[in-house]
Amino acid sequence: MTILLIAEHDNQLLSDQTAKALSAAKKIGGKVDILVAGEGAQAVADAAAKLAGVRKVLLAESVALKEQLAEPLAATIRTLADGYDSFVAAATTTGKNVMPRVAAFLDVMQVSDVIEVVNAVAFKRPVYAGNAIETVESTDVKHVITVRTSAFQPAGEGESVPVERIEAAADPGLSTFVENRIAASDRPELTSARIIISGGRALGSSEKFREVILPVADKLGAAVGASRAAVDAGYAPNDWQVGQTGKVVAPDLYIACGISGAIQHLAGMKDSKVIVAINKDEQAPIFQVADYGIVGDLFEVVPDLEKQLE
């Protein structure tokens, strides 16, 4: 079995999602090569080359690959198809965007959001927003897999392996990048944070959300999350959303403030090691998954928590 793992990066840094997806790839078994597709991404390729258990790193660079749009990226992966049995990527918005396009080119069914590798062709994956877990076996000749990285530990570092430059495929010329609207933040990323504090609709406004949640986040060095209801109401930006259709996270500590615990939200955080729920409603479903619960007004409890953390 030879496996091509698609690296997740921003042309400067290799995301730790790649190291986690690598752990899944290694469980499939066989030789793993990492593809770094981008522009000016040599540093990313060098970082990927240090990951333990990799055979080699392929570096494809072109202007069209800079933003890793699905059309040029899938075209480049397609040129490598003959050499590999399995194609693996983290189930990030980049992976989810490009991998089905690759699978269709190869005429195979993709296995999405793998949480456990049973063997080289069988995988466990959540369906129905995590209310059921399916074990599926791919009967195709090649396999395309996206990995829910919160279910895997990152692979460590080892001796550097060679980086080989390869030709990027010609840009299909279907799509053009216009801009990214990405808020810069000093806080850790949701998907790799050790602690997450999340707010729900009970916060009542964008101002209150920031006033109440952010000081605790700063004190804990935590990432900030939000429920879908809070994002829909405009209290928090979309990239903070934790849940089945937002980000799936599994930090050491997850603090849910004013979040009732809809199935949709639980699907995104119930694999956290320790869950704390702060909610006025004693009957809120979030308490059914919380290790520690405080029934109370979050506008009193959360500032108190901030003080107690001094």
β-strand partners of 139: none
β-strand partners of 295: 279
Q: Which of 82, 132, 159, 186 binds other proteins (CB under 8 A)?
A: 132
Please give the Cα distance from 279 to 225 (Å, whole number): 16
Closer residue to other proteins (CB): 188 or 237: 237
Residues 28 and 120 sit within 8 Å (Cβ to Cβ): yes
Closer residue to other proteins (CB): 171 or 211: 171
Q: Is 107 in the site for other proteins (CB under 8 A)?
A: yes
* Count, residues near other proteins per rule CB under 8 A: 87
Q: 262 among the known binding-site residues? A: yes
Q: Is 63 in the site for other proteins (CB under 8 A)?
A: no
Tokens of 264: 């949709």
Q: 261 among the known binding-site residues? A: yes
- H/E run at residue 103: helix 93-106
Q: Which of 54, 64, 103, 223 binds other proteins (CB under 8 A)?
A: 103
Q: Which of 46, 71, 85, 171 binds other proteins (CB under 8 A)?
A: 71
Nearest approach, Cβ of 156 to other proteins (angstroms)?
Answer: 23
Please give the Cα distance from 187 to 62 (Å, whole number): 31
Contacts to other proteins from residues 173-202, by CB under 8 A: 173-183, 191, 195
Q: Is 92 in the site for other proteins (CB under 8 A)?
A: yes
Closer residue to other proteins (CB): 161 or 220: 220
Please give the Cα distance from 63 to 68 (Å, whole number): 10
Q: 279 among the known binding-site residues? A: yes
β-strand partners of 166: 60
Residues 14 and 92 sit within 8 Å (Cβ to Cβ): no
Please give the Cα distance from 203 to 129 (Å, whole number): 25
Contacts to other proteins from residues 229-288, by CB under 8 A: 231-232, 237-239, 244-245, 247, 252-253, 263, 270, 273-276, 287-288
Residues 199 and 258 sit within 8 Å (Cβ to Cβ): yes
Nearest approach, Cβ of 240 to other proteins (angstroms)?
Answer: 10
Closer residue to other proteins (CB): 136 or 163: 136
Residues 56 and 33 sit within 8 Å (Cβ to Cβ): yes
| Known binding residues for FAD | 201, 227-228, 241-245, 258-265, 279
